[in-house]
Structure 1
């Protein structure tokens, strides 16, 4: 499924990991694909499932359920790979399912709560509220460029 390009950063793609719903900027999404077993790489961390060949580009695949320490991942017909374009790198991220694309107004976005030393919230943009729904908004650039993931070298002038 190709994603239409838009210039509005308030549009987020919502997806599920376990019982929680997350959102990332639609501007980072290149496409959404069904899950296919990637080629495993020796000595790779557990959350790095391997790589796939996407039209001649070798794409690392990260399982976000493993990365976030959620329940044992199940791969079924709803499991999808969101193909991201982060700092000119193509990365795939495995999620339980994709929900929809929503537009959030500034009033619907709350800052991420401060958890002090208890949790690293540096990759959170905030919390989006849509009626009774709450989306955990990820700063996917910061998350994928983190030293912990090590997939994309942090850019010196990254915003």
Structure 2
């Protein structure tokens, strides 16, 4: 069965996330830092009365830190039963991938980022890293961290 992905940029890399996991895409707004959270948790923002943890996806994947600016975007996604925000450089488009376009990740040893990916999709000469959202967060109650 085909699946639809929203694709986005993180540096020179194109990543994709299942469209059904996305609640909304919003402009960057500074996050309020929290003490005692993992280093990839940038902080929290208020989303219409809901406290939303914001993850620095670049840091989580082991690709350095994001230096957010007005051009960055927060993609609000469902991870498990909680809404989370992930910081990305820009949103690209929606693509549909057939099962035969999905490939497993090559065995490249103990690469940090590979544990957060479902595989690779090739569409029109583009390689898209497909994000496994459920593996991005440690099971932590952020409310306890504050």
TM-score by length of 2: 0.86
CA distance in 2, matches of 1:60, 1:76: 18
Helix, strand or coil at the partner of 1:122: helix
Report the aligned-residue RMSD.
Answer: 1.9
Looking at structure 2, the residues matched to 70 and 29 of structure 1 have their Cα atoms a distance apart, in angstroms, of 23
Q: Which has the higher strand share?
A: 2
**In 2, distance between residues paired with 1:18 and 1:110?**
22
Q: Which residue of 2 is the match for residue 79 of structure 1?
A: 72
Corresponding pairs, count: 140
1:101-140 correspondence to structure 2 within 5 Å? 101-116=94-109, 118-120=110-112, 121-140=114-133
CA distance in 2, matches of 1:68, 1:106: 25
- Distance in 1 (CA, whole Å) between partners of 2:2 and 2:57 is 22
Gaps of 5+ in 2: 142-146
Secondary structure, in 3 states, of the residue corresponding to 2:136? helix
2:53 matches 1:67: no
Task: Flag structure 1 segments of 5+ consecutive residues without an equivalent.
Answer: 1-7, 153-159
Instruction: Identify which range, 89-98 or 62-71, moves more after superposition.
Output: 62-71
- CA shift at 1:132, angstroms? 1.6
- Quote the Cα distance in structure 2 between the aligned partners of 1:123 and 1:44: 19
Alpha-carbon distance between aligned partners in 1 of 2:18 and 2:2, rounded to the nearest angstrom = 6
